[in-house]
Structure 1
Amino acid sequence: MHVCKLWIDRFLAFVCIVLCGSLTIIVTWQVVGRFVFSAAGAQSEELAKIMFVWLVLLGAALLFGEKGHMSIEILVDYFSSRWKTIFQIITSVLILLFVASILLIGGFDAVQRTMRQTNAAIPYISTGQIYIALPLCGAFSIFYCIYNIWTDIKVLVKSKAENTPSRED
């Protein structure tokens, strides 16, 4: 499972790097077009918006995999490391339920509902194709939730085994 996580991390990092680089080029082209040629293309502006949304969603999934997401641990800091791990597992399960229902299921629903709608600025891209980023982010986040729960349970079991006194007769 760890090897699978490493491959997904590399894939998401590569996609985010490509999106960020492409976004930089497109936005630079917009600025040059607007100030040098006094006209910026509507397609490049819409493409920049789409790429930004994809970058944010896939970057959020990658950050979630690195446990870099925001958490408020003001109360958890007062507990032992065992209880901190238990709270992390509970938090990951709650996030898993949220991500599965909102991003994955809701994302698939949004994709299905908007697959026939064309984009006004870029008519060869449907709105549903843009929204595919939602269930993709959900799927990657679900994988990371399951991975985090799995590693936290391993830590919990290992710490319990180390604290259990051995019987020597």
Structure 2
Amino acid sequence: MSEPRRKLVTGLTWISIVLFVVLVVVVMWQVFTRQVLQAPSAWTTTFSQYLFIWLVLFAVAMVFGERGHVAVDFFARLMPRPAQRITNIRAQVSVLAFALLGLTWGGLRGMAISWDQAIPGLPVTVGQMYLALPIAGVLMALFALEDLVRAARGEDMLAGDDAQTEAAIDAAEQKGA
């Protein structure tokens, strides 16, 4: 993993942790006000829903950056190396297209449509809350672009445990040689 990518993934990890902690505190406050005070807080339900969306989007970008996402590559690994490379390139182009068109462009359009739409009980608008979509889209697009370049070069891009296993095997082979 490149150093800029590692730093970005670490930043996303901390953002996800902070969002999760805030989400837990907000939900606990919601339960406390409803069950103990018998006066539910008006803002907590809406805020926790948007907070959860932000958490999911940034956590997905973080996992994508770690290459820890679900990858069904069983059949791709059975193909000859040139076909694996082409399959990998197609997959990265698809992810890049989704990140740019679906999340970034779609998120920007959603923000534009709802920028001035107020959220009852919160000091922000719906459009401002939709800001997480294009941010996550740009981050995922950056990761996908780096992965696309690596795939075009023919570099192996094993995900998650496979990469760790491969590194351990390489280290053992070098140690024995």
TM-score, structure 1 normalization: 0.84
1:55 is matched with 55
Please give the alpha-carbon distance, in whole angstroms, between the structure 1 residues aligned to 2:89 and 2:67: 12
TM-score, structure 2 normalization: 0.81
Please give the alpha-carbon distance, in whole angstroms, between the structure 2 residues aligned to 1:67 and 1:81: 20
- What amino acid does structure 1 have at the position aligned with 2:55? L
Deviations 1:26-48 (A, max 9, x none): 11111121111112212122111
Deviations 1:43-89 (A, max 9, x none): 12211111100000111111111222223334223213453233122
- What amino acid does structure 1 have at the position aligned with 2:52? F
1:96 is matched with 96
The answer to whether the aligner puts 1:106 opposite 2:106 as a matched pair is yes
2:169 is matched with none
- What amino acid does structure 2 have at the position aligned with 1:93? V
1:60-79 to 2 correspondences below 5 Å: 60-79=60-79
Q: Which of structures 1 and 2 has the bigger CA Rg?
A: 1
Please give the alpha-carbon distance, in whole angstroms, between the structure 2 residues aligned to 1:58 and 1:85: 28
Note if contact 1:92-1:149 (Cα within 8 Å) is conserved in structure 2: yes
Gaps of 5+ in 1: 158-169
How far has the Cα of 1:139 moved from its partner? 0.3
1:27 is matched with 27
Please give the alpha-carbon distance, in whole angstroms, between the structure 2 residues aligned to 1:152 and 1:139: 19
1:133 is matched with 132
Deviations 1:93-113 (A, max 9, x none): 111112211111111111111
Identity between Structure 1 and Structure 2 (%): 26
Note if contact 1:82-1:156 (Cα within 8 Å) is conserved in structure 2: no
1:6-17 to 2 correspondences below 5 Å: 6-17=6-17
Instruction: Specify which structure has the bigger relative contact order, considering alpha-carbon pairs within 8 angstroms and separated by 6 or more residues.
Output: 1
Please give the alpha-carbon distance, in whole angstroms, between the structure 2 residues aligned to 1:33 and 1:116: 30
Please give the alpha-carbon distance, in whole angstroms, between the structure 2 residues aligned to 1:71 and 1:42: 41
The answer to whether the aligner puts 1:121 opposite 2:121 as a matched pair is yes
